[in-house]
Amino acid sequence: MKRLAVVAFGGNALLKAGEEGTIEQQEKNSRYTSERLLLLLKNNYNLVITHGNGPQVGNILLANNAGHKHFGLPDMPLDICVAYSQGFIGYMIEQQLRNVLRAHEMDRDIISIITQVLVTKDDPAFQNPTKPIGPYYTKEEADKIAAISDSKFAEDPQGRGYRKVVASPKPLVISNVDTIRKISREGQIVIAVGGGGIPSYYAAENELRGIDAVIDKDLASALLASQINADKFFILTDVSKVYLNFNTPQQKAIDRMSVAQARRYLAEGQFTEGSMAPKVRAAIHFVEHTGKDTIITSSDKLGVDDGGTRVAIV
């Protein structure tokens, strides 16, 4: 029986820092990451793919705001922009992965699912926005935008500039999880929970509505992976391993850490919010709920025996 892996594409799997975000750049990046997925397929894994949308949904918001301001087009809320991003990113990953499979004479159905994720309107995250989205700005540009809007900005931990931050509530229920489990176990490749899912809540009994937020895609992916009982959870990012004292002369790669060690490092502030901390929390969630391992690594190390940082029970 084939094993099931959930692979969470990081933003750099689609759009790298410093790139303009053209469709050609994003297709090239998603093609490269899709090539790396072949190692898992050849190692007898079925696949569920999730993905981030931070740069893309931010750009969609900018285009949306410009259309509203200059052409009088209806202003769309953030949940709708997340849905936009799910559709086009899912399409792009599906197309590039299909191209890769055909080039290697492999045949799988690939299904992209527009995924709503239930949150609660009372989540304290709405009082403390931390999730970075959109392009990088200089300090002066960020201050200028903040002065004429309700936007809040935070500095990127790797010094790439300032990005808008929005609320990131905890994911509670993922829609269509039974269907995702069924068709992925049958051997089809599923793309779901894009950008952490479209945030929705119950405004009244049996009445779902969207809400202005972006759910952390790693935590939503971990919830999905645990609910479909995946055999392994891969979190792809822009570094090959998790580091202690990151970006300092004392930087040290972690090959393996237990849940207890991961919690201690989080408490010590070793991992930055908006960067590695959410990934480590997502890894802890999956390991604690399944007893199985999480691998945090870069796409070029995916499927490599000693690639990445392994997070395990002990």
Positions marked active-site: 11-12, 131, 217, 279
| 97 contacts: CB under 8 Å, gap ≥ 6 | 30, 34, 37, 49, 110, 189
Residue with tokens 């229920």: 173
Structure tokens given for 50? 């999730």
| 71 contacts: CB under 8 Å, gap ≥ 6 | none
Structure tokens given for 272? 């930055």
Contacts for 106-111: CB closer than 8 Å, 24+ residues apart: 106/38, 106/41, 108/41, 108/187, 108/188, 108/189, 109/188, 109/189, 110/188, 110/189, 110/190, 110/191, 111/183, 111/188, 111/189, 111/190, 111/191
Distances (CA, A) of 270 to 159, 191, 245, 287: 17, 32, 6, 20
